[in-house]
Structure 1
Amino acid sequence: MYQTIVIGGGPSGIMAAISASQNKQSVLLIEKKKGLGRKLKISGGGRCNVTNNLPYAEIIQNIPGNGKFLYSPFSLFDNQSIIEFFESRGLKLKEEDHGRMFPITDKSQDVLDILIAEMKKQQVVVIENSPVTSVDFSDGSYTVKLDDGKTHHAKTVVIATGGTSVPHTGSTGDGYQFAKSFGHTITDLFPTEVPIKSNEPFIKSQTLKGLSLKDVGLSVLRKNGKKRITHQMDMLFTHFGISGPAALRCSQFIYKEQQQQKRQDIQMQLDAFPSMNEEQLKQKIISLLKEQPDKIIKNALKGLIESRYLHFIIEQANIDLETTYHHLSMQQINQLAHLFKAFTFTVNGTLPLEKAFVTGGGVSIKEIVPTTMSSKLQDGLFLCGEVLDIHGYTGGYNITSALVTGYVAGYYAGQFEPITT
């Protein structure tokens, strides 16, 4: 009989096992695939963005999917605790833009090695390559059955099976079934941090395919044309739509607008010059054209923005690329400035969940005690990580949520004593 069985060997599960075993408690970690931390190894392009150094309020802001839930767990273990955890074990971290923290070695394997070494030190028993088929509770203890028929018993269980994104790493939604079997509600699952699809003629003709725009404002529009969300970052045009950081961050809002508007097609807007207003941009265009009034417009405005996008917007404004300043009307210049600031196009969804970096939705947080990560429906059951309905943007926010909720779940699972009648 173990004190705790942790199901899932990702960052949240490993941290739960470490935390549960710190008072010499007996802990078993079960991973369905061969090798632990498979998703962790590929995160941050193989460098592993292990947490974020921003203040709580900003971290929560970057976790639009129920981030406020994390205020309670943060009181026991937070982003600073994560930094301290790795640095005190010999892995120095470095800070990059937007507070992103990486191992100084730029190797995700080094992050994983420390987590695995800590589990070994605390004598956590690890079983790999063993899918769990069922979790049952009777007479005050849990029975976890594996697909080879073997069973293991514990006072507490931590479900840390991840979501359904990046399924080749082993996260295929098993945890939702285990949680459901104890009466938990699973909210709608949807892809987040995923590229966006469009059937616009300029996408189908691949006019802008492979073009990257730096530091643009990309917005998802509501039915009334107002902006629901805007992200100012880089973006990329692809053969099926748009990608890059700004598009990935907008993706969950495409899904949400589709639900709200009850239709597939959603409008997006691209502001190529977010640091200027339309009037300032118009004056800049006029002054560039006036400097070389005899040059054709596509050459006179060269350098204003990437050439392909410049030519594209000139054509969208129904202006001949070969025309000169003398032949332009003020209305055409106004239209050009307007399109640079508010090019509106239609998208029709995102790539599927298995192509997403992060799963939106999951076990309803209304059924979880935020201070302990325990189930409100079942004594001795704890849940953590991406199996919960918590999701953030990329930038160290999801892994922060995974490690924090994992630590808290393990801490209380390790101390839990069933009430015997």
Structure 2
Amino acid sequence: MRAGPLLLARAASLGLSISILLSCWLEPGVAAKELKFVTLLFRHGDRSPIETFPNDPIKESAWPQGFGQLTPVGMEQHYQLGEYLRRRYETFLNESYKREQVYVQSTDIDRTLMSAMANLAALFPPEGISVWNPDLAWQPIPVHTVPISEDKLLYLPFKHCPRFKELEEETLKTEEYQKRLHPYKDFIEMLPKFSGYQGQDLFGIWSRVYDPLFCERTHNFTLPSWVTEDTMVKLRELSELSVLSLYGIYKQKEKSRLQGGVLAGEILKHMRAATQSSNHRRLLMYSGHDTTVSGLQMALEVYNGLLPPYASCHITELYLDKGEYSVEMYYRNESQHEPYPLTLPGCTHSCPLEKFAELVAPIITEDWAGECITTAVVDHQVLKVVLAVAFCLVISVLALLLLTLIRHGPCWKREYSQDF
């Protein structure tokens, strides 16, 4: 059967449309949106408690590797995260590890180092010449670290910052904090009777009571009879309040400059470098803690108020689209769901790099050590300067008076008579 004139005309029109589309796609100088650089910050995987409360019947000996160690469940969580990252960046990263493309840094803690290693095992299985043992689908990949005492990037909150400690103490006295804490007053006063932990600071309750109970419940230990579902809910909420009060509630911008803003500044620095050189690394991986993830997200004002779960991952991607660079952020906090897009306040999800830099500028410091000095020390130093200046002025005035008297004062001139 021959096609009618109308059908032939439609086919010709369709062909012309396709040709026009193809010519647009293939036109020189018109490039698709291109991923240029990625930063990943993730929390370690499932672990044993770091410490526990005095009345806990479950002691450290109940955990095969002791306190604070990555469990096989945690290893699996990070291996799965590595598999997801391999799929996400299949065309962006080399199939096997290339040191020119990737840099990995971890806090100097067993569980974060091991999490990074488990992650990399899935992200970069050996291929081709990288296969060194045909019976082992794994290759060693360096994970860099520095001693905890020298870590000024990932081990948040930074301890050696007197001004931040001062801000913490001031936060506890604010009306906003007391308002949030008030519903839990009776519960907090009752807690020492059951747990044996006498401290009432929220960070201590989080680390010494809630965290060990959470770990024990996750690993199917039998919990004490006083630990009801309501108890766990209250402990979780107090732990979340601890993070909020640590990084926010009061003078959040200043706190951010001393904590999560340090990491935000480092990420921005690397993104800028990636725009200047085609040889810049493609992937920067940071292995940290829940306080690292929450600290960064609080600084960027994208924190959802919930404790970051094991193997949660904050993703920052740099794109080039039609000659313009933009930044996109995502948060992967559950394995069964695609990462949630995050939007920096004041910008769109796909935020122009220069706008991103402008918005994060208030949380980035060029003199962290200087800003960490307490106001009391600053006031004392100012007073010392004022006193020193006043002393110099007094001495100068006295010296001037003395000089004037020497030159012109009659008491200092003696008359001699001549007797011939």
TM range, normalised to the smaller chain?
under 0.3
User: As a proportion of its length, which structure holds more strand?
Assistant: 1
TM-score (norm 2): 0.22
In terms of Rg, which structure is larger?
Answer: 2
TM-score (norm 1): 0.22
User: As a proportion of its length, which structure holds more helix?
Assistant: 2
